[in-house]
Amino acid sequence: MAVSVMTALGLGACAGLEYKEDVCSSGEYPVLTVGGTGSACVTEGMEPPKGFVAYPEGKVPKQVDDKWDRYWNTHTLDSSGKIIEAP
């Protein structure tokens, strides 16, 4: 019985914790494929590779499945930097 109570208490304590995975590792920033929904991570201080651009300021996904991560699944940037619906 004591084991059941301790197990229930332990599970209850963990239920409120939620792991959120970062989009990029420390020292990196996310970039978006021009005209598509693909993304990559680039070392801070480096320019995005050809075909990629930095996300617009204030619309950068930080964690997997956050507001902006979901947004960029259906939107992208065109070659002039305009936000458009993803093909």
Domain assignment of residue 39, yes or no: yes
pTM of the shown model: 0.76
At 3-50, the pLDDT tens digits run 544 444 455 555 668 888 999 999 999 999 999 999 999 999 999 999
Domain assignment of residue 12, yes or no: no
Extended beta strands in the chain, E state: 28-33, 39-43, 52-54, 75-77, 83-85
Residue appearing with tokens 């792991």: 19
C-alpha angle 52-27-39 in degrees, rounded to nearest 5: 25
CB 79 within 8 A of CB 36: no
Q: Which domain holds residue 45?
A: 22-85
Domain assignment of residue 17, yes or no: no
For the chain, how many structural domains are there in total?
1
Domain assignment of residue 68, yes or no: yes
- Given phi > 0 = left and psi -120 to 50 = alpha, else beta, which region is 6? alpha
Domain assignment of residue 28, yes or no: yes
How much is the pLDDT for 6?
A: 46
